[in-house]
């Protein structure tokens, strides 16, 4: 994470993290929060899957965990109302999507308007949706990477905040490329959350603003192998 400009916040920003799997980004965020590198308090980790490995990992760090399965609800809007109520019960000021594999309804997004971040494993707007590493390899891309963006109703289409580029190497497979991209995810997601926690990053007029200036393009980290 790059050096922080300005004074630290008066108190830690309360956040809730949503996951569906092992939660590697969640763990990177929680560990940095625990050791004082990130000025946030992880109020809860919530998953749509009761057996998500990340829940056990969060519990081992004494973070409250909850699961809420969509199978218990008749449709997506009804589920999202319940999910929003569960998230809201922890009173977060930021909702962090970290491998949460459900498309959120407009109602959920409206509940937490301007304060939902997501990490996506591609250089958006390239490769929205799934199988991003495979698609980058099939396209013959020389650069791949990851993006942090604010969440809006458009799937993987919210205002971009920061991206990190990763070189695609000869002989790369989905797994080797994914591993290098994930290392960068852990870096830039914490950076974006740090900016938000310190009041430097905001969503305003459907644009990302950093240090009171609209971002004409995402902040780009140096290309890395």
Specify binding-site residues.
Answer: 23-25, 76, 101-104, 118
Q: Which residue has the tokens 């304060």?
A: 115
- Residues facing residue 213 across a β-bridge: 210
Burial of 53 (0-12, 13-18, 19+ CB in 10 A): middle
Rounded Cα distance between 28 and 32, Å, is 6
Catalytic residues: 120
Q: Using alpha carbons only, what angle is made at residue 3 by residues 26 and 199, rounded to the nearest 5 degrees? A: 70
Cβ neighbours of residue 104 closer than 8 Å, sequence gap 6 or more:
80, 116, 151
How far from the centroid of its chain's Cα atoms is residue 73's Cα? 25
Q: How many CB atoms lie within 10 A of CB 6?
A: 9
Could you tell me if 146 and 120 are in contact, meaning their C-beta atoms sit under 8 angstroms apart?
Answer: yes
What are the start-end ranges of the E strands in the chain?
13-19, 40-47, 65-67, 94-97, 116-120, 143-150, 160-167, 201-204, 207-210, 213-214, 219-224
């Amino acid at each position: 994470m790059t050096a922080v400009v300005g004074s630290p916040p008066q108190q830690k920003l309360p956040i809730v993290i949503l996951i569906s799997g092992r939660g590697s980004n969640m763990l990177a965020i929680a560990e940095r929060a625990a050791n004082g590198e990130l000025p946030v308090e992880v109020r809860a980790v919530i998953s749509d899957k009761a057996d998500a490995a990340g829940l056990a990992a969060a519990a081992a760090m004494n973070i409250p965990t909850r699961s809420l399965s969509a199978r218990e609800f008749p449709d997506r809007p009804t589920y999202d109302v319940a999910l929003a109520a569960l998230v809201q019960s922890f009173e977060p000021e930021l909702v962090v999507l970290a491998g949460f594999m459900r498309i959120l309804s407009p109602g959920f997004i409206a509940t937490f308007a301007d304060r939902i971040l997501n990490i996506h494993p591609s250089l958006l707007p390239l490769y929205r949706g799934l199988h991003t590493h495979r698609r980058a390899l099939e396209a013959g891309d020389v650069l791949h990477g990851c993006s942090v963006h604010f969440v809006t109703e458009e799937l993987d289409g919210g205002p971009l905040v920061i991206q990190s580029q990763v070189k695609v190497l000869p002989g790369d497979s989905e797994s080797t490329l994914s591993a290098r991209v994930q290392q960068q995810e852990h870096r830039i997601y914490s950076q974006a959350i740090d900016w938000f926690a310190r009041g430097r990053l905001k969503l305003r007029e459907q644009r990302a603003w950093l240090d009171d200036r609209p971002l004409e393009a995402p902040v780009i980290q140096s290309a890395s192998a």
